[in-house]
Amino acid sequence: MNRVHLTRRQLTTLVVVGVLLIAAIVLPYVATSYYVTIATLVLASALLASSVNMLAGDAGLYSLGHAGIAAAAGYGLAWSSRQGMGLAAQLGMALLLTLIASVIYGLISMRTSGVFFLMVTLAAGMICFGMAYRWSSVTGGDNGLTGIRRPELLSEYWQYYFFVLAVFVIATLALRGLSASPFGLTLRGIRDSQTRMRSLGYSVPAYKFAAMVLSGLLAGVAGVLLVWQNEFVSPASSSFQASALALVMVVLGGVGRTFGPLIGATVVVLIQQVLSTYVDRWPTVLGVLFIVVVIVKESGGVRRLREMLQRRRPSAPARPTPEY
């Protein structure tokens, strides 16, 4: 029988995660409903950011259009809800639209990478936005669709919060599993060198397509959660700003890191919703913060910081910073 042997780092991570979880569970009992609603928004946004993070971290593909897929799911849910369909049908519709969007995104992007991938996804996102905006007989156009009610069981703000928390935890675990799986390994191989993978016989476009579809499914889940949160949907959910913010969250939190999206989402949502009450120029704050983080990460600032801290504890091995 082997003893459970954890490195100090793994133990720290476990403890931190444990503390976070306990804090998350206790939150509704100590904070007002406003802050719990903010926390729910953070979790749902983090889920969308996670879908972007999956592609960026594992496959090295940065998407500027994922809000489009999330919105497709949201509109599917909203529209069928307004038609009076039952819950199963609503979710089915959301799933269907998510798949259609993800497949189209995948098909047009699977042969591109780097900046081109960015632009293709941007274009796809804008097309989703255009549809949401123009197809007003179905989508309500600029007014959007209101009055979308959550299922009975989740109607209270704290019930919904726990639900979203649970979904987030499960999704994060699933993403970690995916990352550690052979599929994840292949994706990272593609990220590092497409030519090498091709010479090894892998069909690079097929893997990218699959990754996009999986990522899209997660984005769809996030989309449904966001619609249930606000109880309405509008073209703003699929806008360039929405997609850009998701990417900002990923970068702020650290590309490829498991909790990166959560950290990024917390920072962005707090600035957007809470700081904005006190500071008029909050977009500047967010923009500057974003630039600083990108530059510092690139010039190895994080590594230098780590080295400074670790000079006191030479036994802990330095973890290499992830490559973009």
Partner 1 sequence: MFFLQQTLNGLSFGALLFLVASGFTLVFGLMRISNLAHGGFYIVGAYVALTTVALTANFWFGLLAGALAAAVVGFAVERGLLRRVRNREMPEVLVTVGVLFVIADLVLAIFGGDPKSVGLSGAPRGALVVGDFAYPWYRLFIIGVTLVIGVGMFLLQRYTRIGAIVRAGVDNREMTVSVGINVDRVFTGVFVFGAALAGIAGAIGSGLLSLNPSSGTEILLFAMVVVIIGGLGSIPGAAIGAAFIGLVDAFAKVWLPEFSYFTVFAPMALVLVFRPYGLLGRPA
Partner 2 sequence: MRSTQRRGLRFALATTVAVAGLVVAGCAPSSSLSDDGGGGDASTGGEVFKVGVLAPMTGFVSAIGTDLKQGWELYWEQNGDTVGVFTVETVLEDDASSPDTALAKATRLVTEEKVDAVVGPVLANQALAVADYLDQEGVVNLAQSSADDITQREFSPLVLRTGALAGSQTTFPGGQWAYDEGYRTAATLCVDYAFGWESCGGFVSAFVDAGGTVPLQLWYPGDATDLSTYVTQLVNADVDVIFAGTAGGTDSSNFLRSAADFGLLEKTPVLANCCTLDQAILEDVGDIALGIKSVAYYAEGAPQVADFVEAFEAKYGIIPSVYAFGAYATAQMLAATLAGLDEKVTGEELVAAIKSADLSDSPWGKVSFDDYNNLVAPVLVRDVVARDDGKLWNVEIGEFPDVSQFWTFDPEEFLASPPFSTTRTGQ
Binding site for partner 2 (CB under 8 A): 2, 4-5, 10, 14, 17-18, 21, 25, 28-34, 37-38, 41, 133-134, 136-137, 140-144, 146-147, 156-159, 162, 165-166, 169-170, 173, 176, 180, 230-232, 234, 236-237, 272-273, 276-277, 280, 282-283
Task: Give the nearest distance from C-beta 270 to partner 2 in angstroms.
Answer: 12
Task: Give the nearest distance from C-beta 127 to partner 1 in angstroms.
Answer: 5
Residue 287 interacts with which of partner 2, partner 1, none, CB < 5 to 8 Å by class:
partner 1
> Whose structure tokens read 């209101």?
146
Binding test (CB under 8 A) with partner 1, winner from 85, 240, 271, 316: 240
Both tokens of residue 41? 């928004």
From 313, 315, 274, select the one nearest 35 (Cα to Cα). Answer: 274
Task: Give the nearest distance from C-beta 60 to partner 1 in angstroms.
Answer: 8
Residue 322 interacts with which of partner 1, partner 2, none, CB < 5 to 8 Å by class:
none
Q: Please check whether residue 58 is in contact with residue 188, taking contact to mean a CB–CB distance below 8 angstroms.
A: yes
Task: Give the nearest distance from C-beta 85 to partner 1 in angstroms.
Answer: 26
Residue 185 interacts with which of partner 1, partner 2, none, CB < 5 to 8 Å by class:
none
| Residue 35 or 257 with smaller CB distance to partner 1 | 257
| Residue 34 or 116 with smaller CB distance to partner 2 | 34
| Residue 166 or 309 with smaller CB distance to partner 2 | 166
Binding test (CB under 8 A) with partner 1, winner from 100, 103, 122, 178: 122
How many Å apart are CA 231 and CA 9, to the nearest integer? 41
Task: Give the nearest distance from C-beta 246 to partner 1 in angstroms.
Answer: 12
Binding of partner 1 by 18 (CB under 8 A): no
Binding test (CB under 8 A) with partner 1, winner from 8, 9, 149, 281: 281
Task: Give the nearest distance from C-beta 116 to partner 1 in angstroms.
Answer: 5
| Backbone φ, ψ for residue 146 (5° rounding) | -110, 175
Q: Which of these segments, 156-164, 213-221, 267-275, 287-295, binds partner 1 (CB under 8 A)?
A: 287-295
Binding test (CB under 8 A) with partner 1, winner from 100, 119, 263, 316: 119
Task: Give the nearest distance from C-beta 34 to partner 2 in angstroms.
Answer: 4
Interface residues for partner 1 in 49-78 (CB under 8 A)?
A: 62
Q: Which residues of 215-244 are buried (b: 16+ CB within 10 A; e: fewer)?
A: bbbbbbbbbbbbbbbeebbbbebbbeebbb
| Residue 12 or 136 with smaller CB distance to partner 2 | 136
Task: Give the nearest distance from C-beta 150 to partner 1 in angstroms.
Answer: 31
